[in-house]
Amino acid sequence: MIQLIGAKRVMIIVVLAGLCAVLGAGAYMYLIPQSDKLDRELKTVKSDISFKRSEADRFRQEMAEIQNEKNTFQSLEVLGFLGEQSRLAARKRIEAIQSYSRVLSASYNIAPGVVENAETATIADRVVLKSKITIDVEALDDADVYSFIHLLENAFIGYVSITSIELERVQDLNEVTLRQIGSGIPAVLVKAKIELDWKTLMSREQALVIGASVPTPGSQ
Amino acid sequence: MSVTLMSPSRTVLLIGDDALYIYSVTARAVRFIETLPWNTDDFVRTVSGLLRKECGGKPVLILNDMTDQYFKGGQRLPNVGMMDKQGVLKRKLQVAFPNYPIRGALPIKQKKDERSAGSDKAANVRTAGDLYLFAGVPMAEPLVKTFEAVKTSMVSVVGFTLLPVEASDMVRALSTKLAGKERPASEWAVFIGQHQSGALRQVVTRNGQLAMTRITAVAANEGDYQAWAMDVYQEFKATLGYLSRYGYSADDGTDLMVVASAEAGNALEQMIDIPCNYSSFTSNEAARVLGMSIGVQEHAGYADPLHAAWCGRKTSFILKMDAADLNRIHQPRQAAAAAIVLLLAGTAYLGWQVASNAQKVLSTQAEISDQKRVLGQATAEYDQEVKRLEAMGYDVKLIQAALNTFNDFETNRMDTMPLLKKISDGLGNELRIDKITVKDLAFNAPQQSAIDLTRLKDAAIAANNGEDKPPRVETTIHMSFPQTITPEEGRKQIDDLERRLKALLPTSIVWVEKNVGSKDYTETTSGAAGRNKEMTAEELDMKAEIRITGPLS
């Protein structure tokens, strides 16, 4: 066959085939994978740049927001929204509210705290500590009860969310009750039962320390 | 055939009876290389060397001009399918020329009137297959030597063709060009040309198709134009004699074209005594008529340079003969050439791939370098912002978490004071309530009602701009009236209160669950009769209950 084709042609074919092989190997075994690798690297670098810039922008925006919200946050801190739920402090605060509102009595029951996840709090690794409180109030006037509720909502430790109010007039204002009031004996004309949720934010570690069962993030 | 600079450059091996004539054909000229008689010593090596060196290894076209070429016209194939046609044709060729290994079949164009006529013959023509001219060449020693020389030289082979067949379209082209626009080309065209060997080749075409060919010897000496003309005239007359058997008539019109020196041409013209369009020219003049250039020729009166130029520059041939011996040389070389072309194309493509990818790699590297610089700046900017935040002394995430959680609580909080204020406004100074309960339905079960609230709910949805907000707050108001007023008066008071509350709480559903004096009180009636009774039936009848359910805000 070589005699028919000629050594020159065979040589040309061999050289061209070799050249093809070298070029093919260079293109498909080195250059194209290298090009893909560099493309990926470029994408990563661009992604990093984009991330850093967006984070820097976010920080700038947050800084502006923090400047605006700093006072609100400080108020929440002062209000005890970010603290533990001290039963002693709660007792003192209810006594103060009772005194300010002029209700005759306010007997309360604070249930053990339970820990709940809040989606908004997970970014700071915080959980919500919730305690159910039931307060039975006796008063001379329903206006005093309203005042008690108002103070409870705005001056209690942490956050208070009233879930139910039951207000009942137990006696009419008549001569007997007027005489009773005049003689200095407190007359209960109105009774109220208030149920509320007391909520504060606390760190996950803090919740574990006080022994509350802490749900994993994402579960309720 | 138009000849351009793109015409192929080839070596034409003109096989005569006495010798092999070698021509080198390029787009501009035809160069006569050498004549090698068949009995030359070391013929194969000499020719091989000439093909490689003198002719530059160009592809070779073998043009057979020997006497030994046989034709069988009017060979009709049976009407077979496309798939079988080649097989049948091959078999018929083998039957026609069983002893000639080099064979070929040329399809003959049939006149339309032959097919469309209404006769029985025409009907047979229509039902039969195509018509062919079969050609066969015996494997003579000159051919064996030529093939061996080609094999040894290692040059490519374009093909093996027959000079009369390949010259037929030249004859037609010459006839057409000479006729010009003044007259139509004649039905019969006779081309006469003497070759270097002295042989006189006559090619006769009818309507552009090869009708007959003759090769004869001319005895006249060089320079004796009268004798040469007489010889040619005699041969021409003989040719016409043969043609008359095939239907030739002087009335059909004949173009006679002779390649010869001017003197010989003139001498012949004097002798022609039959009506025809006579033209005589040298090979250069004939080439000019054909629009070709064959360059300077030593003997302009010979026709073989013209044939070499015409056939050597063809891109496709009228009849390529099938020679098994030549194919054995030709096909591997053709395959090698194809392989080289493919490999060249592959090399070019891969070279392009390498170049473009290398460029891409370089540009990507440069871009990565630029982007890394940008990343450095972005990182510095980011670090600066982080430091600023840290310097503020606040935990950003904690602030966000605290505020968002607080706002979330606020959104879901039952705001009792505005509701109680509106109820108080609705009561006014005249009415008073016995008991009121306000429940967040997210934490407490709603009370059952005997009233169908669908209609009332529609009004609340309308007040909520078409939004069906789920009820979250349920308020129940218990009232009682003294027996000093009539039940009708009490009912009126309750109805008025309901109306006022609806106006004050448009997004809530307000309804009277139990009105004063109503007899359809659905709750279980309980109490005590006798000494321990707490409330009389009349007192009980003066009680009323109003319910309000509504959204958080």
Binned at pLDDT 50, 70 and 90, residue A65 comes out as confident
**B470 is a domain residue:** yes
Inside any domain, residue B64? yes
pLDDT band at B103 (very low <50, low <70, confident <90, very high): very high
> By the CB < 8 Å criterion, does A11 face chain B?
no
Task: Looking at the structure, tell me whether residues B191 and B314 fall in a common domain.
Answer: yes
Q: Which residues of A touch B394 (CB under 8 A)?
A: 66, 70, 73
Query: How far, in Å, CA of B99 to CA of B137, rounded?
Result: 9
Token pair listed for B127: 């039902």
B381 domain-assigned: no
| Count of A-B CB contacts under 8 Å | 211
Candidates B353, B390, B405, partner chain A, best to mutate (most A CBs within 10 A): B405
Taking an 8 Å cut-off on Cβ atoms, the answer to whether B154 and A9 are in contact is yes
> pLDDT tens-digit profile of A88-108?
999 999 999 999 999 999 999
- Classify residue B79: in a domain, yes or no: no
Interface ipTM: 0.73
Residue where one domain finishes, among candidates B258, B291, B320 = B320
Average the pLDDT over B252-258 and give the result.
89
The confidence band for A214, taking pLDDT boundaries of 50, 70 and 90, is low
CA distance linking residue B517 with residue A107, whole number of Å:
38
User: A79 at the B interface (CB within 8 A)?
Assistant: no
> Does the pLDDT of residue B521 top 60, yes or no?
no
For residue range A133-143, what is the model confidence (pLDDT) as tens digits?
Answer: 999 999 998 99
Please indicate if any CB of chain B lies within 8 Å of the CB of A88. no
Q: What is the pLDDT of residue A176?
A: 82
Count of domains observed in chain B: 2
> Within an 8 Å CB–CB cutoff, is residue B121 touching chain A?
no
Distance from the A41 Cα atom to the nearest Cα atom in chain B, whole angstroms: 8
For the record, the structure tokens of B2 come out as 């138009």
Answer with the one of B267, B295, B320 that is the final residue of a domain. B320
My answer on whether B294 and B179 are in the same domain is yes
Structure tokens at B118: 């209404």
What strands, in cross-sheet order, belong to the sheet with B30-37? B30-37, B19-25, B10-15, B60-64, B157-162
Partner residue facing A66 (CB), from B399, B420, B440: B399
Minimum Cα–Cα distance from B435: chain A residue: A168
Closest CB to A63: pick one of B389, B405, B440: B389
Per-residue pLDDT, averaged over B319-325, amounts to: 87
Gap from B124 CA to chain A (nearest CA, Å): 48
- d(CA A191, nearest CA chain B) in Å: 9
Question: Would B357 be classed as within a structural domain?
Answer: no
pLDDT at A199: 95
Asked if A60's CB is within 8 angstroms of B385's CB, the reply is yes
Confirm or reject contact between B325 and chain A (CB < 8 A): no
- Secondary structure (DSSP) of A147-170: HHHHHHHHHSSSEEEEEEEEEEE-
Out of A26, A121, A149, the one facing B405 most closely (by C-beta) is A121
Which residue, of B302, B320, B338, is where some domain finishes?
B320
Using an 8 Å CB-CB cutoff, list chain A residues near B154.
5-6, 8-9
pLDDT at A146 over 90: yes
Residues of A in contact with B446 (CB under 8 A): none
B329 in any annotated domain: no
In a domain? residue B83: no
Q: What is the DSSP string of chain A?
A: -HHHH-HHHHHHHHHHHHHHHHHHHIIIIIIHHHHHHHHHHHHHHHHHHHHHHHHHHHHHHHHHHHHHHHHHHHHHHHHTTTS---HHHHHHHHHHHHHHHT-SEEEEEEPPPEEE--GGGGGGTEEEEEEEEEEEEEESSHHHHHHHHHHHHHHSSSEEEEEEEEEEE-S---HHHHHHHHTT-----EEEEEEEEEEEEEEHHHHHHTTPPPPPTT--
Average pLDDT over residues A153-182: 89
- B215 — pLDDT class (breaks 50, 70, 90): very high
Q: Among B381, B382, B408, whose Cβ lies nearest the Cβ of A118?
A: B408
- The answer to whether residues B420 and B313 belong to one domain is no
Number of C-beta neighbours around residue A103 at 10 A:
24
A203 DSSP β-pair partners: A126
Residues B426 and B313 in one domain: no
Are B455 and B316 part of one and the same domain? no
Q: How many CB atoms lie within 10 A of CB B236?
A: 22
CA–CA dist B335, B57 (Å, integer): 17
Pairwise CB contact (< 8 Å): A63 & B385: yes
Q: Is the dihedral of CA A171, A175, A180, A182 positive or negative?
A: positive
**Residue B380 carries which side chain, given as an amino acid letter?**
A
* Tens-place pLDDT, residues B13-65: 999 999 999 999 998 899 999 999 999 999 999 999 999 898 988 999 999 99
Q: Tell me, yes or no, whether B434 and B316 share the same domain.
A: no
Q: Is A20 on the interface with B (CB under 8 A)?
A: yes
What value does the mean pLDDT of chain A take? Answer: 88
Residue A123 tokens, joined: 């970014």
Same structural domain, B297 and B439:
no
What pLDDT, on the 0 to 100 scale, is given for residue B66? 92
B426 occurs within a structural domain: yes
What are the C-alpha distances in Å from B231 to residues A101, B20, B186, B301, B425? Answer: 151, 25, 25, 15, 144
Cβ B204 vs Cβ B189: under 8 Å: yes
Chain A residues near residue B405 by CB distance under 8 angstroms: 118, 120-121, 126, 128, 201
Q: Model confidence at B5, in pLDDT bands (50, 70, 90)?
A: very low
Q: Over range B493-499, report the average pLDDT.
A: 92
Residue ranges making up the domain that contains B441 = 415-550
> Does A124 reach chain B within 8 Å, measured CB to CB?
yes
